[in-house]
């Protein structure tokens, strides 16, 4: 998780105030905000920026579309890029960085347990916010995280077994190979690895005894980030 010193935060606040005085509150389109968030989260996880191709895959758009969005963000002084150099996108938007700093430093004293997720055959939609799992004394996580209880053994080769509690980051995009909470057109949810192939979606179990699920479309509800297990 990125940490800012007080001095760095002061610089960001001053820059934000200067930008606001000069051009008013900067408006970003929903797609531009999504792109900024993807870049920020990727940098947090990997320590460097994504390529245009990786961003295109995450957004399910062409690299040309990504280039156009980045060009628009650059004109709004939200990012900088070094020409002809891969992984060179850096976020410079003061307001956005300040919001991320506030979000990342938020203490979480409880984590919503939203219900069950199938690690096997898909089950009905997962949401059930009637329970709260108190985890603040164990670890900190982002406000966008929630927990699900696993039902089934389709992910045992990834050491996710029936009865585990998984930690999920609420997101609607994912890269190929990531473990996702996927919702199909019938409202059924399942936990599988996601792959895009030949215009289809392959939801791959991590259990050699189980076949993959091939569908035309899925709605990504979140991406697996960790698990808790009772001993």
Residues known to be catalytic = 154, 192
- φ, ψ of residue 228 to 5 degrees: the values are -125, 145
d(CA 82, CA 87): 9
DSSP letter for each residue of 90-102: EE--HHHHHHHHH
d(CA 166, CA 217): 24
d(CA 180, CA 171): 9
Q: Each residue of 44-54: b (16+ CB within 10 Å) or e?
A: eeeeebbbbeb
d(CA 218, CA 189): 9
Place of tokens 């797609």: 31
């Amino acid at each position: 998780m990125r940490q800012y010193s007080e001095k760095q935060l002061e610089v960001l606040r001053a820059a934000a105030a200067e930008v606001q005085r000069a051009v008013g509150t900067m408006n970003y389109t929903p797609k531009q905000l999504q792109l900024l968030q993807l870049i920020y989260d990727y940098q947090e996880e990997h320590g460097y920026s994504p390529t245009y191709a990786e961003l295109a895959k995450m957004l399910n758009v062409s690299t040309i579309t990504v280039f156009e969005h980045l060009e628009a963000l650059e004109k709004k002084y939200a990012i900088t890029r070094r020409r002809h150099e891969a992984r060179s996108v850096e976020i410079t938007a003061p307001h956005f960085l300040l919001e991320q700093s506030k979000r990342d430093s938020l203490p979480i004293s409880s984590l919503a347990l939203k219900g069950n997720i199938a690690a096997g055959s898909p089950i009905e939609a997962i949401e059930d916010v009637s329970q709260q799992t108190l985890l603040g004394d164990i670890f900190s996580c982002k406000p966008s995280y929630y927990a699900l209880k696993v039902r089934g053994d389709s992910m045992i080769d990834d050491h996710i077994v029936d009865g585990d509690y998984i930690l999920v980051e609420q997101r609607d995009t994912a890269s190929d190979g990531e473990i996702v909470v996927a919702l199909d057109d019938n409202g059924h949810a399942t936990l599988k690895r996601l792959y895009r192939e030949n215009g289809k979606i392959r939801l791959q179990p991590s259990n050699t005894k189980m076949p993959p699920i091939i569908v035309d479309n899925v709605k990504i509800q979140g991406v697996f980030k960790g698990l808790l297990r009772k001993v």
